[in-house]
């Protein structure tokens, strides 16, 4: 059997693409190896790249330098350069790394089998087209875990001025509910205990060109959804969600207009209802949310669906309304505060996490301090932080005269991280003494002690000393202590 090694850089979307590639490569007779020792370890080497920051992009090229040396003494070894940097750089990759056989962008992933056959036949191929190619029905090779990631939207239409995603992942499109439900059923049948719906902007699932394309009238009417009013769904209504049929029919007109746009006929709320109705003991999560796309209907659905977990990742990016405007985010500080307040009031025990950028072009000290106070006043449970990194093609990258020095950006990032740590510890301290349900995802020996690690419904990491491997089990845990990044707990009783 031929062997393939894939190095995956960047976000969860890339990891999900790697699982897709492994499924297709399995079909071609390739077996995955997880460790790359030398030039003879594999027949095909793939790097799945990330371009979110300049550092990630540089890493992509530096990682494969050794592969080029290996290829000199083993010319039959094939090297593929894939993902966001490939999409952005295209055939220019060959100039920089002449030993590369295949450059494949994010839009061409579905033609991987044909591309591999061509490089196996000795061709050098670049496939980094503008238009995403339609999906093929290929089984994924999921990484071993309790959580299965399922992509529901790809690309993004928001064009935040700092972000390269719309250029590397393309315009936003939703995968059909039919495909998503099928993948969820397969993952549950394989023993996964958690489904995480993935997308750059999951709340706009089902929209085409910014509009709800079709509504399933059984549970909620079109008018209600469009006004974002929503209603509290009770368990009976969830069971009687009959929208599947209308959700699953094809919208031929849209397909004809642009075959790359999948016609998703339901909103994220409707999708959650459908997934929640699937049999089995499992959890559902979704990420990432765009603040102003979170509707009342979605919040009510989170409350009503027993399998949907109480945690939302809602990037704020800056606490300053002026900077948010320059970032082309469609909300201001006050609006974000209102959204968080509403969610906290309605969803018991919810955790809200966020992303922030330190040192966006032109950001002054006062504006930066507004970010610090936002983080603090909103009591965010955790935040991803990064210093601003200009990305080619984006609007903000052209504002060179407004760039801040590396020293200022690093200093602000450090202060952001200190606030983040304080928030995390304060958030974790609230759980001491409580009993929480934890899904175990790891078991290892740490300094002579066997430790179980898992997550609560609201995504808090918990470490529990215990001698038995309980990976994949839901257990009840008494929280006995809190550290910055995790909780400590004691096993109470097994749920089955
Ligand atoms: Fe990028 Fe903005 Fe889209 Fe998020 S919402 S992927 S930051 S363009």
Distance of CA 348 to the CA centre of its chain: 24
What average pLDDT is seen over the chain?
A: 86
C-alpha 160 – ligand 1 centre gap (Å): 6
**Burial of 94 (C-beta count, 10 Å sphere; 0-12/13-18/19+):** middle
Ligand 1: residue of 12, 164, 201 to mutate (most ligand atoms within 8 A of CB) is: 201
Query: In terms of Cα–Cα distance, which of 149, 184, 145, 142 is closest to 273?
Result: 184
- In whole angstroms, give the CA distance from residue 172 to residue 174: 7
Ligand 1: residue of 200, 293, 331 to mutate (most ligand atoms within 8 A of CB) is: 200
Query: In terms of Cα–Cα distance, which of 446, 458, 273, 431 is closest to 347?
Result: 458
Among 138-147, 222-231, 324-333, which range has the highest average pLDDT?
A: 324-333
* Closest atom, ligand 1, to C-alpha of 290: 5
Query: In terms of Cα–Cα distance, which of 93, 91, 176 is closest to 126?
Result: 91
Q: Residue 214 pLDDT more than 70? A: no
Q: Whose CA is nearest to atom 1 of ligand 1?
A: 163
Ligand 1: residue of 165, 203, 204, 336 to mutate (most ligand atoms within 8 A of CB) is: 165
Residue-wise pLDDT tens digits, 441-454: 999 998 889 999 99
Ligand 1: residue of 13, 158, 356 to mutate (most ligand atoms within 8 A of CB) is: 158
- In whole angstroms, give the CA distance from residue 234 to residue 276: 12
- In whole angstroms, give the CA distance from residue 240 to residue 304: 13
303-306: long-range pairs with CB below 8 Å, 24+:
303/232, 303/346, 303/347, 304/232, 304/233, 304/234, 304/235, 304/237, 304/238, 305/233, 305/238, 305/272, 305/273, 305/276, 306/235, 306/276
C-alpha 163 – ligand 1 centre gap (Å): 6
* Closest atom, ligand 1, to C-alpha of 159: 8
* Closest atom, ligand 1, to C-alpha of 156: 3
* Closest atom, ligand 1, to C-alpha of 201: 5
Ligand 1: residue of 50, 53, 153, 166 to mutate (most ligand atoms within 8 A of CB) is: 166
Encoded tokens for 259? 């075959």
- In whole angstroms, give the CA distance from residue 15 to residue 33: 15
* Closest atom, ligand 1, to C-alpha of 328: 2
Q: Residue 493 pLDDT more than 50? A: yes
Of 221 and 431, the structure prediction assigns the larger pLDDT to 431
Q: Residue 209: its pLDDT value, please?
A: 54
C-alpha 290 – ligand 1 centre gap (Å): 8
Q: Residue 382 pLDDT more than 90? A: yes
C-alpha 155 – ligand 1 centre gap (Å): 9
C-alpha 84 – ligand 1 centre gap (Å): 14
- Residue 126's region, left for phi above 0, alpha for psi from -120 to 50, else beta, is beta
Q: Whose CA is nearest to atom 2 of ligand 1?
A: 160
Of 5 and 235, the structure prediction assigns the larger pLDDT to 5
C-alpha 210 – ligand 1 centre gap (Å): 14
**Pocket (CB within 6 angstroms of ligand 1):** 156, 158-160, 163, 165-166, 200-201, 290
- In whole angstroms, give the CA distance from residue 340 to residue 51: 30
- In whole angstroms, give the CA distance from residue 215 to residue 469: 45
Phi, psi dihedral angles at 412 (to 5 degrees): -65, -40
Where does the pLDDT of residue 208 fall: very low under 50, low under 70, confident under 90, or very high at 90 and above?
low
Average pLDDT for residues 370-390, to the nearest whole number? 97
Encoded tokens for 10? 């960047």
Q: Whose CA is nearest to atom 5 of ligand 1?
A: 158
Of 286 and 496, the structure prediction assigns the larger pLDDT to 286
Q: Residue 228: its pLDDT value, please?
A: 29
Where does the pLDDT of residue 420 fall: very low under 50, low under 70, confident under 90, or very high at 90 and above?
very high
C-alpha 319 – ligand 1 centre gap (Å): 17
C-alpha 239 – ligand 1 centre gap (Å): 34
* Closest atom, ligand 1, to C-alpha of 288: 4
C-alpha 127 – ligand 1 centre gap (Å): 24
- In whole angstroms, give the CA distance from residue 347 to residue 451: 31
Where does the pLDDT of residue 461 fall: very low under 50, low under 70, confident under 90, or very high at 90 and above?
very high
Q: Residue 481: its pLDDT value, please?
A: 98
Query: In terms of Cα–Cα distance, which of 480, 486, 378, 490 is closest to 425?
Result: 486
C-alpha 370 – ligand 1 centre gap (Å): 21
CB 168 within 8 A of CB 262: no
Q: Whose CA is nearest to atom 4 of ligand 1?
A: 200
Q: Residue 210: its pLDDT value, please?
A: 56
Residue-wise pLDDT tens digits, 23-43: 899 989 999 999 998 889 999
* Closest atom, ligand 1, to C-alpha of 163: 1
84-to-14, 51, 90, 245, 491 alpha-carbon distances in Å: 9, 6, 10, 36, 43
């Amino acid at each position: 059997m031929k062997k393939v090694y894939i190095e995956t850089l960047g976000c969860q979307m890339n990891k999900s693409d790697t699982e897709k590639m492994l499924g297709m490569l399995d079909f071609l007779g390739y077996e995955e190896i997880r460790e790359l020792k030398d030039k003879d370890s594999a027949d095909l080497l793939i790097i799945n790249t990330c371009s979110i920051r300049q550092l990630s992009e540089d890493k992509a090229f530096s990682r494969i330098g050794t592969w080029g040396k290996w290829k000199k003494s083993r010319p039959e070894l094939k090297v593929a350069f894939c993902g966001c940097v490939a999409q952005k750089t295209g055939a220019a990759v060959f100039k920089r790394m002449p030993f590369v056989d295949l450059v494949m962008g994010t839009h061409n992933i579905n033609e991987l089998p044909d591309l591999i056959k061509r490089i196996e036949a000795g061709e050098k191929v670049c496939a980094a087209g503008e238009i995403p190619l339609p999906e093929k029905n290929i089984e994924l090779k999921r990484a071993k875990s309790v959580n299965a990631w399922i992509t529901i939207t790809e690309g993004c239409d928001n064009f935040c001025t700092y972000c390269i995603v719309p250029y590397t992942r393309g315009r936003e499109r939703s995968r059909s509910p039919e495909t998503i439900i099928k993948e969820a059923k397969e993952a549950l049948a394989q023993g996964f205990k958690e489904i995480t719906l993935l997308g750059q902007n999951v709340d706009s699932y089902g929209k085409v060109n910014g509009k709800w394309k079709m509504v399933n009238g059984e549970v909620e009417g079109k008018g209600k959804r469009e006004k974002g009013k929503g209603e509290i769904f009770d368990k009976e209504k969830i069971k009687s969600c009959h929208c599947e049929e209308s959700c699953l029919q094809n919208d031929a007109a849209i397909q004809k207009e642009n075959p790359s746009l999948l016609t998703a006929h339901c909103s994220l709320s409707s999708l959650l209802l459908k997934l929640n109705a699937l049999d089995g003991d499992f959890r559902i999560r979704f990420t990432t949310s765009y603040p102003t796309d979170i509707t009342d209907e979605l919040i009510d659905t989170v409350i009503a669906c027993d399998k949907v977990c109480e945690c939302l990742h809602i990037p704020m990016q800056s606490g300053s309304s002026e900077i948010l405007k320059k970032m082309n985010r469609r909300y201001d500080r006050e609006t974000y505060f209102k959204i968080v307040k509403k969610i906290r009031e309605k969803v018991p025990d919810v955790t809200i996490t966020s992303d922030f950028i330190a040192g966006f072009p032109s950001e002054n000290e006062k504006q930066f301090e507004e970010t610090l106070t936002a983080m603090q006043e909103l009591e965010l449970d955790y935040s991803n932080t990064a210093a601003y990194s200009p990305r080619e093609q984006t609007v903000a990258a052209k504002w060179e005269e407004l760039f801040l020095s590396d020293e200022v950006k690093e200093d602000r990032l450090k202060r952001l991280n200190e606030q983040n740590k304080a928030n995390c510890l304060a958030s974790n301290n609230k759980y001491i003494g409580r009993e929480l349900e934890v899904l175990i995802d790891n078991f290892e020996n740490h300094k002579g002690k066997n430790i179980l690690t898992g997550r609560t419904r609201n995504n808090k990491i918990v470490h529990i000393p215990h001698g038995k491997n309980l990976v994949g089990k839901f257990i009840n845990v008494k929280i006995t202590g809190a550290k910055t990044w995790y909780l400590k707990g004691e096993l109470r009783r097994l749920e089955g």
